[in-house]
Amino acid sequence: MRRPVVVLAMVPALTPQLFTPELLERLRATSEVLDGDPLTSFDEERAGRLLAEAEVLLTGWGCPRIGRRVLDRAPRLRAIVHAAGTVKGHVSEACWERGLLVSSAAAANALPVAEYTVAAILFANKRVFRLQRRYREVRAFRWWPDELPGLGNFGKTVGLVGASRVGRRVIELLRPFDLAVQVHDPYLTAAEAAELGVRATELDELVATSDVVSLHAPAIPETRHLMDRRRLALLRDGATLVNTARGWLVDGEALVDELRSGRIDAVIDTTDPEVLPPDSPLYDLPNVFLTPHVAGAMGAETQRLAALAIEEIERYAAGEPFRHGIAREDLGRLA
């Protein structure tokens, strides 16, 4: 087994969480890591020296874009292994033209997103978010099914928008529960839906007939404001919208109007813009459960991403194909 030269490129603050001493030892067992301090810019003098030797770029969040000028300085570069999700921010068209092998740890990042989503779905149907606030207000016994008719998970319908990595993991995790799951994805065939144990349906029907609608579609031109004013109005009274994908998918102004009516609830982990302005109504609306983009890998969970990336480098060193390789033609379907 040969030992490829690996250069790191990512935000330095992330590396202590991503790479434990045990993981770094595993990486160094099959690779030559030239410098333990990751590059944050490809323009610095150190970058020129490291790029000249690099065969594999091990990238992460904050990696600079890898354009033609960078590639000219990296004549030996053969692969980019991303210890995070999407590669669209740093892998340029020049990388594909050069024929570089590209891998992503999106599959590992999908797991915590799916776990967050399933928790949100179960809590939403149980009306936990509203009940927590209401109980704090009244501080007394109520017959809660009268206050919130239909609460509970038994027999509820969950609609997933996107049979992505996350969407498929959510399907798997929901199997033990007495829920009906339906999915909209333009690339999902009836046979694939049957194999997954879900019902394939058109988007409008899914939105109108689900108790919880959870978004798992990529942020591409075709999905901009997929949940627009007309489609948000289709949500049944008492339904919950869950967004762990991208704020890009939802018309934010229209969503605020629907939420202000009190007709629906929302669990929102991703917004547009990514950090909302301080005066955003979403911070204060009582029927919104808002989190700061934490559904994906955080803290110790990031080590799963690093382990997957190291496994890919081990496969590369052994002359084996990536297990989680990204093809140029897949970009239009990926987050």
Any idea which residues carry the catalytic annotation?
Answer: 246, 274, 293
- Give Cα separations from 98 to 70, 93, 218, 266, 320 (angstroms): 12, 9, 26, 44, 20
Nearest Cα to Cα of residue 218 among 62, 82, 88, 59: 88
Establish whether the linkage from the previous residue to 273 is cis, with ω within 30° of 0.
yes
What token pair was written down for 329? 């033609």
242: Cα within 13 Å, side-chain hemisphere: 29
What token pair was written down for 162? 């996107």
Long-range contacts of the stretch 49-52 (C-beta < 8 A, 24+): 50/7, 51/7, 51/77, 52/76
